[in-house]
Amino acid sequence: MEAFPMLVPVLVLVLWSCVQLVWAISARIKAVNDQGLSASDGQRTSTLANALPPQAQFKADNYNHLMEQPTIFYATVMVLTFAGLDGAMNVGLAWAYTGLRIVHSVVQSTTNIVMVRMPLFVLSTLCLVALAINGLVALT
C-alpha cells in the first residue's frame, strides 16, 4: 500500500500535463511548417496562434488550462495529505478529478466540442469542491 495515496493522482496529472505540452508543441511545429510560416512570423504566442488552424491551437489551449485550475487541486491534495485526510473517499475524489481532467484534455485536444467538455469540467470541479469541503470540515 502506498504511504501517501493521494499524491499518486497528483503525479499522474503532472505527467499528463507534460504529455500535453509535448503534444501541443509538436502540433504547433507541424502547423507552422504546413502553413509555411517562419520563426519571425510569431513574435508572440497569441500572434502565432491566430495564424494557425484552430486544431493546432486546441492542444496548447488545453495545456494552458492544465496550468490553471489543477494548481488549486495540487494545493488541496497537499493540505489533505499533510493533515492525514487521505482516506478512501478523498483518494477516490482525487482520482476522479485526475481522470476527468485527462478525458477533458483529450476532448479539447481532438474535437473540442464545448458541450462535451463542459460537463467534464463541471464534474471535475465538483470533485475539487468536495475535496476542499471535506478538508475544511475536518480541520475546523
pLDDT in tens, 92-133: 999 999 999 999 999 999 999 999 999 999 999 999 999 999
Which residues have a Cβ under 8 Å from the Cβ of 17 and sit 6 or more positions away? 63, 66, 67, 70
Q: Domain spanning 7-139 has what CATH number?
A: 1.20.120
Residue 41, pLDDT score: 67
pLDDT in tens, 2-33: 789 999 999 999 999 999 999 999 999 899 88
Q: Domain limits of the chain?
A: 7-139
pLDDT in tens, 49-86: 778 899 989 999 999 999 999 999 999 999 999 999 99
Confidence band of 47 (pLDDT split at 50, 70, 90): confident
